[in-house]
Chains A and B, each alone.
Chain A
Amino acid sequence: MTTGNERIRVLLAKVGLDGHDRGVKVVARCLRDAGMEVVYTGLHRTPEEVVTTAVQEDVDVLGISLLSGTHMSAFPNILKLLENEGADDIIVVGGGVISEQDSQALKEQGVAAILSQDTPPEQIVDTIRQLVERRGPR
């Protein structure tokens, strides 16, 4: 059902210990300027917090940026938690420094897209739009 007043809602979260969020804030502004509603929760979130927030905010997309090295455990954990909440229709997108090989593995497990640090903003916007379109209305 479309009513003409839908907006793509995105939760951007930084999981783990790294201490700056300049990149995430830039992405947040790009998404806003593309007409999306972006919930931003700040630094150092745990997978549990992120999933609870995503469910309460009923976002379409959960964008997670994290420190390299933790992604192979954090993403599967987040996907599992979403499934437990009956919320695995929330699309998970990852960002950060992640090797091609790991990217493939994470996509196999259900991460919809992995964006690297030098993905141009327009491409991030496009990717999110396409993923939400593919999911369809809910």
Chain B
Amino acid sequence: MTVTKGVRSRKSLSSLELIPAVRDGSTRAMARLISRIESGDPERREALTELYRQGGKARVVGLTGVPGCGKSTLVREYAKAHRARGQTIAVLAIDPSSPFSGGAILGDRIRMTELTGDPGIFIRSMASRGALGGLARAALETVDVLDAGGFDTILLETVGVGQDEVDVAQVAHTTIVVSAPGLGDDIQAIKAGVLEIADLHVVSKCDKQEASRTLTELRQMLHLGLNAGAQTAWKIPVIASSAETGEGIEKLLNAVDQHWRHLHDSGELADRRRMIVERRVIKLAEELVRDRFAEHRRQVGPHLVGLEQVVARERDPYTVAIELLNAFK
């Protein structure tokens, strides 16, 4: 370790070396490994392979909804109630990156400050880093780390706009969609295709008068067969909640428990796990192809072979693309 006053350089443990401490539930080790996942450290793969084999113990809950609908506040209340039941919980709160600078302001923790200091709660903010659609990958790998760290429940908060974000909410065992009165979000959420992914609906801020309208509308939509296509006997509940009065929080926890039991008893849990794994493997394969392609391009320089012939219309784009694919297989 070298010390220039105020700046300490230190070679920290490699991703693999972090694993024992992660398994011991070390906050520092989990946090470090999550950063490696975010930055796409190639060594993380081995580490995650190691963790994956023994994983799958935690329950994963996704929570999504339009901006400002009360997700983070609800997460806080959920976590408190969860802790009161003697269960530990980790929260992954995802906010969008700026498409202009790639930077982000991650503000979800503002609503969760009273959770800080409880060793049974771990909170991590993540920027979507829009690039390459790797968000679901990063989120799932983070879930693996938190799972290995021994948390009973892992809660994923994402803003319900954009396919990437919605995908994340769907890689959970139970997906909660939050709506709030007075945001005009009924229309927004329908457009984004968010309402359809709910196993559970929450109408937040029900201490406000307009909430009853939102509740009615949502119930009507469900009645009209919002999820008619889904092959399940699960009856999607609509829960009114308020962080101000505490209404609905216990109901929500119970409903998540019931949904878990339903997944278990109906055999749908296996289907869901298969679906999550399938998405994950396919996304990863796509990412690997992209990585290799990028590597190939670095090797061949700025100009791809055959491009000139396509420009001159001597050859067609398809043929050259297939050749290219074969070249870096």
Confirm or deny: B122 has a beta carbon within 8 angstroms of a beta carbon on chain A.
yes
* Secondary structure class of chain B's binding surface, majority of residues: mixed
Question: Per a CB cutoff under 8 Å, which of B35, B39, B41, B101 touches A33?
Answer: B101
Are B105 and A32 within 8 A (Cβ)? yes
Question: Per a CB cutoff under 8 Å, which of A42, A55, A134, A138 touches B113?
Answer: A42
Cβ of B242 to closest chain A Cβ, rounded Å: 21
A window 56-110: CB within 8 A of B: 56-58, 85-89, 91-92, 107-108, 110
Are A3 and B107 within 8 A (Cβ)? no
Are A39 and B109 within 8 A (Cβ)? yes
Are A41 and B110 within 8 A (Cβ)? yes
Determine the distance from Cα of A1 to Cα of B44 in the docked complex, in whole angstroms: 12
Per-position binary interface string of chain A over residues 5-38, scored 1 when its CB falls under 8 Å from any chain B CB and 0 otherwise? 1110100000000000000000011011111111
How extensive is the interface on chain A, given as a class? Answer: 35 or more
Are A37 and B127 within 8 A (Cβ)? yes
Confirm or deny: A124 has a beta carbon within 8 angstroms of a beta carbon on chain B.
no
Given contacts A7-B127, A111-B6, A138-B11, contact A40 B107 (CB under 8 A): yes
Cβ of A114 to closest chain B Cβ, rounded Å: 10
Interface size on B, residues (CB 8 A): 43
Question: Per a CB cutoff under 8 Å, which of B4, B101, B124, B125 touches A32?
Answer: B101
- On chain B, the residues within 8 Å of A134 by CB distance are 4, 7, 9
Question: Per a CB cutoff under 8 Å, which of B7, B38, B41, B106 touches A91?
Answer: B7
Are B6 and A107 within 8 A (Cβ)? yes
Are A55 and B110 within 8 A (Cβ)? no
Residues of B within 8 A of A (CB): 4-12, 27-28, 31-32, 34-35, 38-43, 97-98, 100-107, 109-110, 113, 116-117, 122-125, 127, 129, 131
Residues of A within 8 A of B (CB): 1, 3-7, 9, 28-29, 31-42, 45, 48-49, 52-53, 55-58, 85-89, 91-92, 107-108, 110-113, 131, 134-136, 138
Q: List 7 A-B contacts (CB under 8 A).
A: A7-B38, A9-B35, A37-B103, A39-B106, A40-B105, A57-B31, A88-B8
